[in-house]
């Protein structure tokens, strides 16, 4: 049972490049979400999904896109990376009204 | 923002002492959860308290919730060096929207 798997662990992008951060869970959780963590800011919710085909915006959605075609996968797309998107990104999943299970994070640097 | 605020931002105590950290939030919640994060790792769930509960225990952890004051506290008793980590509260608004506070960095000195 792998839990929540995020790839890659590290990534360096140039400004303007695009990329997709992958997140997969094998617990059949209906809820999945993406957070970014910056020093002194805690975790901020980017986007979340309550089930396949359903996504919604969190606190800081600008510059990011998501889709949820399957229960297991919830990729996060950066369409045109900016230095302000340098951060550590966490994916999490859960059942309704239950604790979140986190992946180990992706450390992204945009130069 | 729905984000909670933890207090203090940083806490340093001797091994064996108790550690208390507080969380305040802004709106009505479905439940409140506490998480721990060791340096460079993901967050690990510690305890969940529902809006109709006032106190909950799990091992050396005690969590209280005061919905009238929109606040919660996490008490770690008889702290150990291994408790050194950052601690975050997360408010769950609807069962599907989790908003995190800025965290308390706890250092337990052996």
Task: Report yes or no: A47 and A61 within 8 Å, Cβ to Cβ.
Answer: yes
Q: What share of chain A is helix, strand, coil (3-state, %, to 5)?
A: 5, 55, 45
Q: Is the CB of residue B48 less than 8 Å away from at least one CB of chain A?
A: yes
Mutation choice for A interface testing from B91, B96, B103 by most A CBs within 10 A: B96
Which tens digit of pLDDT belongs to each residue from B85-98? Answer: 999 999 988 777 88
Q: List chain B residues with CB under 8 Å of A59.
A: 1-3, 99
How far does Cα A47 stand from its chain's mean position? Answer: 7
Which tens digit of pLDDT belongs to each residue from A68-106? Answer: 999 999 999 999 999 999 999 999 999 988 899 999 999
Which tens digit of pLDDT belongs to each residue from B42-92? Answer: 899 999 999 999 999 999 999 999 999 999 999 999 999 999 999 999 998
Q: How far A80 CA sits from the closest chain B CA (Å)?
A: 25
């Amino acid at each position: 049972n792998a839990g929540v798997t995020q790839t890659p662990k590290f990534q360096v992008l140039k400004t303007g490049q695009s990329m997709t951060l992958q997140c997969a869970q094998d617990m059949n959780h209906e809820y999945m979400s993406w957070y970014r963590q910056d020093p002194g800011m805690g975790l901020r919710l980017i986007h979340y999904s309550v089930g396949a085909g359903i996504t919604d915006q969190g606190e800081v959605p600008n510059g990011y896109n998501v889709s949820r075609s399957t229960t297991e996968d919830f990729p996060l797309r950066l369409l045109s990376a900016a230095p302000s998107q340098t951060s550590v990104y966490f994916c999490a999943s859960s059942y309704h009204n239950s604790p979140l299970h986190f992946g180990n994070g992706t450390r992204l640097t945009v130069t | 923002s729905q984000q909670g605020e933890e207090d203090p931002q940083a806490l340093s105590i001797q091994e064996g002492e108790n550690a208390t950290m507080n969380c305040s939030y802004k709106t009505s919640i479905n439940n409140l959860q506490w998480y721990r994060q060791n340096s460079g790792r993901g967050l690990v769930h510690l305890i969940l308290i529902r809006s109709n509960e006032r106190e909950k225990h799990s091992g050396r952890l005690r969590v209280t919730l005061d919905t009238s004051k929109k606040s919660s506290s996490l008490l770690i008793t008889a702290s150990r060096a291994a408790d050194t980590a950052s601690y975050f509260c997360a408010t769950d608004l609807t069962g599907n929207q989790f908003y995190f506070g800025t965290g308390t960095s706890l250092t337990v000195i052996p």
